[in-house]
Amino acid sequence: MANHVDAIVIGAGFSGIYMTYKLREEGFTVKTLEKAAGVGGVWFLARYPGARCDSDSIYYNYIFSEELYKKWSWSSRFAAQDEILSYLNFVADELDVKKEMQFNTEVKFAIWDEDQTKWLVTTAQGEVFTATYLISGVGCLSTSSIPNFQGRESFKGESYHTGNWPHTPVDLKGKRVGVIGTGSSGVQSIPVIAEEAKEVYVFQRTPQYSVPTRNRQFTEEEIAQFKEAFLDAREIMLNSPSGLPIPRSTRSVVDTPEEERIAILEDAWEKGGMILNNAFYDIVIDPKSNELVSEFLRGKIREKVKKSDVVEHLLPYYYYSTKRPILDTNYHDTYNQDHVTLVNLRQQPIECITENGIQTTEKEYPLDIIVFATGYDAMTGTLLKLDIRGRNGVSLQEKWENGAKVETYLGLGLAGFPNFFTITGPQSPSVLTNVPTAIEQHVEWISDCLNYLREHNVKTIEPTVEAEIQWSKQCTEIANGTLFTKTESWYTGSNIDGKSRDFLIYLNGLDNYRQLCNEVAEHGYKGYQLQYEEIKA
Ligand code: NAP
């Protein structure tokens, strides 16, 4: 049949590239449909000034192939967006997967055909494909969100979202630029925007803790050493909770004597990167531990910001690390510059956007450019937009009650949605790990599963309702034992107006999760129901 393949993969980012390769190598036919004009996923789209990765570049890559790893050399400790995009193109070319991919093709609708036991996939461009398996590689942060500011359309200047930045340079020179949002995207872009713009206005709702990246160029010798140490590093990454070569910490903040605690924090601060938030095991568990680390980080902000009337507005008081930890280069120092103005939205909320700029309850800020660094409809946003319908035409929106009741099994599959898999889906470790490592684990598990189905003449696989309920309950219980659920963040869905609050990340670590997934497979896909092909006599 025309346009029929064994598997359709949605998205050509980190997930889609590896999934496509893996299945093709296993002898399955694959078609990968990607809305954008090239590979890269979020790294294709988020081209804002200062966009950079927060995982050390030498770990923010595929580790399944030693040969592939050794062919690529990162230029600096934290790679910029364009280098990551080049890397993903390099991998896609090395693995020769672009021939399985169709770009500028947006999946609009997918429905399970009960009689044919196939997925029917329709694109916005009007094409129809069928596939035995449907695999989502849409990522957790791929639907950018702009809050519904009144009057947004009336603004006469330019406006951009960090997650959907133009492909041609935006000229900031001599411009008055307003940035709304101080998450990772805002914190990375504000210092870079301030280097060019005439005036910068930062519209901040919640101040942020931040740790320096300490980014630097690598030397040839260092690159050679990383490659030499690859196999050892990979071993630790595969067995660590974060997917980084950082073993599980056994140290408690409160139980560590003050002098030693400060020394550990200072050392992590000097080293930069994600070392500090991984230095103790109880930062996001024990409020007292959290406060000690939070106060340490507030002290760093007080040291950096010289303007006494500004610094108090920049001090965060939420539990550190319960919003996604932020790394920066010169973020807080930027506020020492006279052309940078902090607007505290807790004191003067945005009333509307006008023709000329942003109107708060206190005054109008005239602007030439507005940058929306306002984040993403994370975890479920993209999946819910796709219009996926399982058995009996039941949509994902209906199953998940429009986000009010999200349940999955292992973040990998859904009851009522046969032969459907979600790479880094809700309730998997996903964004609380080094994401490429989590992606590899899912891709390999799915690929093994499809092999099993083929070898055992299994027609359909889907989680049981009971397994799904149990898994969701377990995820919620683990999350409720932490401080994560006590903070408003995109982790909990509270960044999107009207979105239900839920914590959709499995928090017991990638190491434990990997073991659980392996056990499920080893026990003949425990928690799933399998429907076998009828063998004709
Ligand atoms: P984000 O962390 O969700 O931050 C959005 C910002 O917009 C927050 O400061 C938020 O304030 C503000 N905001 C949202 N709605 C608002 C409203 N109605 N009025 C005023 N302010 C509003 O989004 P992001 O910075 O794009 O980052 C999202 C995630 O993407 C990161 O956490 C990270 O996982 C990933 N990311 C990674 C990198 C990297 O690796 N370097 C870079 C960028 C992004 P509140 O805090 O008060 O809600």
- Out of 184, 277, 382, 433, mutate this one to test ligand 1's pocket (max ligand atoms within 8 Å of CB): namely 184
- Residue 378: pLDDT band (50, 70, 90) is very high
Report the alpha-carbon distance of residue 18 to residue 15 in Å, rounded: 6
pLDDT score of 101 more than 60: yes
- Give 57-111 as a DSSP string: TTTSS--S-HHHHHH---SBSS-BHHHHHHHHHHHHHHTT-GGGEE-S--EEEEE
Between the CA of 116 and the centroid of ligand 1 the distance, in Å, is 43
Check if 345 has its Cβ closer than 6 Å to any atom of ligand 1: yes
- Residue 79: pLDDT band (50, 70, 90) is very high
Whole-angstrom CA distances from 532 to 414, 453, 456, 529 are 19, 9, 8, 10
Between the CA of 131 and the centroid of ligand 1 the distance, in Å, is 36
Tens digit of pLDDT for each residue in 327-366?
A: 999 999 999 999 999 999 999 999 999 999 999 999 999 9
What DSSP state is assigned to residue 525? Answer: S
Q: Quick one: the chain helix, strand, coil %, rounded to 5?
A: 35, 20, 45
Whole-angstrom CA distances from 474 to 145, 303, 468, 470, 508 are 29, 42, 10, 6, 10
Check if 381 has its Cβ closer than 6 Å to any atom of ligand 1: no
pLDDT top residue among 3 and 75: 75
Check if 142 has its Cβ closer than 6 Å to any atom of ligand 1: no
Tens digit of pLDDT for each residue in 225-256?
A: 999 999 999 999 999 999 999 888 999 999 99
Tens digit of pLDDT for each residue in 491-506?
A: 999 999 999 999 999 9
Report the alpha-carbon distance of residue 514 to residue 362 in Å, rounded: 52
Contact between 452 and 523 under an 8 Å Cβ cutoff? The reply is no
Token readout for 269 is 């601060």
Between the CA of 375 and the centroid of ligand 1 the distance, in Å, is 4
Cβ count near 88 (within 10 Å) = 23
Between the CA of 497 and the centroid of ligand 1 the distance, in Å, is 14
Contact between 446 and 412 under an 8 Å Cβ cutoff? The reply is yes
Q: Is 117 helix (H, G, I), strand (E, B) or coil?
A: coil
pLDDT score of 456 more than 80: yes
Tens digit of pLDDT for each residue in 142-151?
A: 999 999 999 9
Report the alpha-carbon distance of residue 221 to residue 208 in Å, rounded: 36
Q: Is 333 helix (H, G, I), strand (E, B) or coil?
A: helix
What pLDDT is stored for residue 219 in this prediction?
98
- Residue that has been written with the tokens 């694109």 in this structure: 123
Check if 49 has its Cβ closer than 6 Å to any atom of ligand 1: no
What pLDDT is stored for residue 349 in this prediction?
98
For residue 174, is it left (φ>0), alpha (ψ between -120 and 50) or beta?
left
Check if 374 has its Cβ closer than 6 Å to any atom of ligand 1: yes
Between the CA of 65 and the centroid of ligand 1 the distance, in Å, is 33
Cβ count near 97 (within 10 Å) = 25
Tens digit of pLDDT for each residue in 23-61?
A: 999 999 999 999 999 999 999 999 999 999 999 999 999
Give the rounded percent of residues in the chain with a pLDDT score beyond 70: 99
Report the alpha-carbon distance of residue 238 to residue 53 in Å, rounded: 20
Check if 149 has its Cβ closer than 6 Å to any atom of ligand 1: no
What pLDDT is stored for residue 1 in this prediction?
57
Cβ count near 332 (within 10 Å) = 24
Between the CA of 186 and the centroid of ligand 1 the distance, in Å, is 7
Q: Whose CA is nearest to atom 18 of ligand 1?
A: 147
